[in-house]
Amino acid sequence: MRRGGVYLLASLASGIATVLALPLLWHPGLARLWAARHRDRAARLLGTPAAPGHTTGRDLLWLPVNAVTGLLFGLPALLCVGNLVPAAVATTFWWAFAPAQRPRPFVAVAVTGWTTALTLGPLQILLLTALAWLCFPPAARAHARICLVVLSPPAAGQLAERVAVLTRTRADVLDAHGAELRRIERDLHDGTQARLVSIAMRLAVARQVLTDDPRDETFLAELLRDAHEGTEEAMTELREVIRTVYPPILADRGLAGALTAVTTRCGVPARLDIGDLGRIPAAVEAVVYFAVAEALTNVVRHSHATSAGVRVSRAAGRLSVVITDDGTGGAEPSRGTGLTGIRGRVLAVDGSADIHSPAGGPTTITLELPCAS
């Protein structure tokens, strides 16, 4: 009820502000900002993602619609709230200081004695509270739906926007894929392959020593020891390369176990809230794992936070991941803190990423990924 009431009163204030500032808001740039503010607010109330709008005509259409709906939905809420708080006190003082037989404002009941004065106010509070409890939430949701309907681009526009996003994402994925292949090739060539060549040379020398002088056991043992150590180092490097392709911990422990390990190893206290997610596609699991690992790494390195949190939930075919910290904020993808990589991974699987990090904190990263049953 409280959230709906706040939303309706804010809609009333917004409607009045729209009427008063209409000449200024008629500017396309200001209209777009004004519309985006209302679209985001309506989406938060309904708990749905708000698709960005780029249609100036709809932004301008929202101005008169906002003025009318703000007043239409907000005025009843204002009258209800305006009579809740002073009802009991106002009734009593109205009887005490006003002439006798004066009817109570908004309630056509004559206050002629203490019994009427002390019962009318509480009764009015009870009725108005019940009215607010029943009417505020659906009225607020109705206004929010009107807002999203008016400000949402048409189906053709949404399709064009989606195609543009997918085209851009596909190009980014291909670039990232090519860069990842080059990195893996470089790691294998410069690291693992070089060690394997060194091991092969040591084993060849050891075989030659064994053929020429089998009694030179000291030199032979040293060569075999170097070869053994080189083999272990090559195996370690190879495991690191494999881990960057698909973390083995996901195959061994699943997403919940992998995220538990990541949050446990985090350099700041990190809380993990994860329920029963059911079966999740391997590609989505990998994206979530790398995104959470990268985000928590950023928390440790850049945020000066004292705590962090990871919440993973699944509903209506979508996997939601929310990563928060109480640090100093100011995280920007353009600053090379890995946020661009997180967003790229999420967009590659047709998901969405929202990064909210005002100066002074806190930082909240919200990821939405498709997770069909």
Q: At what angle do helices 193-212 and 217-245 cross, to 10 degrees?
A: 160
- Distance (Å, whole) CA 182 – CA 178: 6
Select from 3.40.228.10, 3.40.50.300, 3.40.640.10, 3.30.565.10 the CATH code of 249-370. Answer: 3.30.565.10
Find the range with the poorest average confidence among 47-51, 87-91, 172-176, 244-248.
87-91
Contacts of 345 (CB under 8 A, 6+ apart): 287, 290, 291
Strands 363-370 and 352-356 turn out to be antiparallel
- Distance (Å, whole) CA 196 – CA 24: 71
Q: What is the dihedral of CA 293, 299, 300, 305, to 10 degrees?
A: -140
Residue located via tokens 């048409």: 154
pTM value > 0.85: no
Average pLDDT of the chain to the nearest whole number: 77
Q: Residue 47: is it exposed, middle or buried by C-beta count within 10 angstroms (0-12/13-18/19+)?
A: exposed
Q: pLDDT tens-digit profile of 289-333?
A: 888 988 998 888 888 889 999 999 988 788 999 999 998 888 777
Which pLDDT belongs to residue 361?
80
Find the range with the poorest average confidence among 14-18, 41-45, 174-178.
174-178
DSSP code at position 267: S
Q: pLDDT tens-digit profile of 54-113?
A: 566 788 888 888 888 888 888 888 877 766 655 555 555 655 555 554 554 445 555 566
Rounded percentage of the chain residues whose pLDDT exceeds 70 = 68
Parse the chain into domains and list their residue ranges: 2-153, 174-245, 249-370
- Distance (Å, whole) CA 356 – CA 365: 6
Residue located via tokens 């749905």: 48
